[in-house]
Amino acid sequence: MPRFRKAFSLLLLSSMVLSSPSAFANDDPDVDPDRYEFSALPIFMADTDRGFITGATGLVVRFKKGYYPYRWRMQLLTRFSVERQPDDTLQLPFHEYRLRFDIPGVLTPRLRLDAEVAFRRYTDSGYYGFGNDSPGENGVDRFNEYDRVYPSALVQARYTFSKHLSFLVGLSFTYNWLELYEDSKLRTDTQSLDPKVRDLLHGTEDHALTITSLGLVWDTRDHEFSPTRGMFHELSWRLSPGLELLYGGANATARFFYPLLGEKLVVASRLVLDFIVGDAPLYELSRFGSLTPQDGIGGAQAIRGVPLQRYHGKIKALANVELRSELVAFHLLSQRFKLGFLAFVDMGRLWSDYEALQRFDGDGLGLKLGLGGGSRLRWGETFVLRFDLAWSPDADPVGAYIGFNHVF
């Protein structure tokens, strides 16, 4: 994006992260299964999709013997981006406020409950058209953007049938307010005479969206947040029952973790296939996943280096391979930390629809590619701070990202 052409400067800025650790309930958490972990982190960072981001996050985890991976976990996150306009005024294009609870062992050890309430606003939501070959930016301010405001709530239950196999069911609700900027591509496309554009473009007016999801999960990982061996596979479905928009989707995701040198060096990989049918709103066409939806194929959670919300379509395929390391373990104010580095390759492709549309999707292989490296700082058992730097033919000139948890 034009406002991030000096990505290396943003990289230096993003390294300014201030930690504010609190003590564990017990000074020796390595041997005490009944303990609390507290993490508090003011956020000062930048990435090439959202710009300079500030805010804070707090995490409280209760560990108790007999419960895996913990008794309960609560996370509070607030963050927003700051952008300087050409007239030197400051704008806040992105807001997010989120509270999440994760409670294993509800009523029975086999049942796990996950719930979240959130409020988000993206005044710079991206839209470039449909397909793998959609045109890039034309330099006009707000041409490839629209404003989306949406409060949301979700609840998800996971029931474990055996040691590794679980059934998940979820329900989510959002209400979406959209503003289409004057002379933007999105506003122009809502008036398009092209029947295919009209067939693909939905959800441009204010609307409610309810999604039910269900799936099967196979999980043999040795650690939920920083695995070094095992597998984590998902087969899931989602459906919006047509209160305002009727559509469905399916997702198959396979994740593999293989130790080369124990936890010191691990190969991690992910393969994703995602399909949408029906009248999905446009923002869902730049996302994938049923149980844990993520932005993609571009952005920090998919093909790093490809801009967020750059491509929209009903069919997505992507693959990630990471070489992860944890090299340095240390304590600070009774807190446990592990520092590591990684290299990665991301690639994938998107199709606008189920028929061959060369004008939208191109006529070649069309793979999108991201190459790069980064670092990971694990704080306690469940908090991972992520930094990635990626090159891609779509990047301008590189993509830089700071976030939480591994990409997969």
Mean pLDDT, the chain, whole residue set: 89
| Distance in angstroms (rounded) separating the CA atoms of residues 287 and 311 | 9
Q: What is the pLDDT of residue 9?
A: 38
Q: What is the pLDDT of residue 48?
A: 83
pLDDT exceeds 60 at position 24: no
| Residue bearing tokens 């509070």 | 76
Bigger pLDDT: 286 or 34? 286
pLDDT exceeds 60 at position 15: no
Return the ∠ at Cα 272 (arms to 267 and 275), rounded to 5°: 175
| Residue bearing tokens 């998919």 | 302
The pTM is what?
0.86
Bigger pLDDT: 143 or 333? 143
Bigger pLDDT: 34 or 233? 233
Q: What is the pLDDT of residue 8?
A: 34
Q: What is the pLDDT of residue 86?
A: 67
List C-alpha distances in Å: 26 to 245, 330, 334. Answer: 51, 17, 9
| Residue bearing tokens 């504010």 | 20
Query: What percent of the chain shows pLDDT beyond 90?
Result: 71
pLDDT mean over 111-133: 96
299-337 tens-digit pLDDT:
999 999 999 999 999 999 999 999 999 999 999 888 889
Contact 41, 78 (CB under 8 A): no
pLDDT mean over 166-192: 96
Q: What is the pLDDT of residue 27?
A: 40
Which contiguous run of DSSP H or E holds residue 12? helix 7-14
253-271 tens-digit pLDDT:
999 999 999 889 999 999 9
pLDDT mean over 230-242: 95
Would you place residue 37 in the very low, low, confident or very high pLDDT band (cuts 50, 70, 90)?
confident
pLDDT exceeds 90 at position 174: yes
Determine whether 107 is exposed, middle or buried from the number of CB atoms within 10 Å of its CB (0-12, 13-18, 19+). Answer: exposed
pLDDT mean over 64-80: 91
Contact 172, 152 (CB under 8 A): yes
Would you place residue 353 in the very low, low, confident or very high pLDDT band (cuts 50, 70, 90)?
very high
Q: What is the pLDDT of residue 29?
A: 47
pLDDT mean over 121-145: 91
Q: What is the pLDDT of residue 13?
A: 36
Tokens standing for residue 261: 């040198």
| Distance in angstroms (rounded) separating the CA atoms of residues 402 and 54 | 11
Contact 271, 258 (CB under 8 A): no
Determine whether 115 is exposed, middle or buried from the number of CB atoms within 10 Å of its CB (0-12, 13-18, 19+). Answer: middle
Instruction: Provide CB contacts within 8 A for 355, sequence distance 6+.
Output: none
Determine whether 140 is exposed, middle or buried from the number of CB atoms within 10 Å of its CB (0-12, 13-18, 19+). Answer: exposed
Q: What is the pLDDT of residue 154?
A: 96
List C-alpha distances in Å: 27 to 109, 273, 306, 379. Answer: 28, 45, 43, 15
CATH code linked to domain 115-404: 2.40.160.50
Which DSSP string do the residues of 123-170 spell out, in sequence order? Answer: EEEE---SSTT-----S-TTTTEEEEEEEEEEEEEEEESSSSEEEEEE
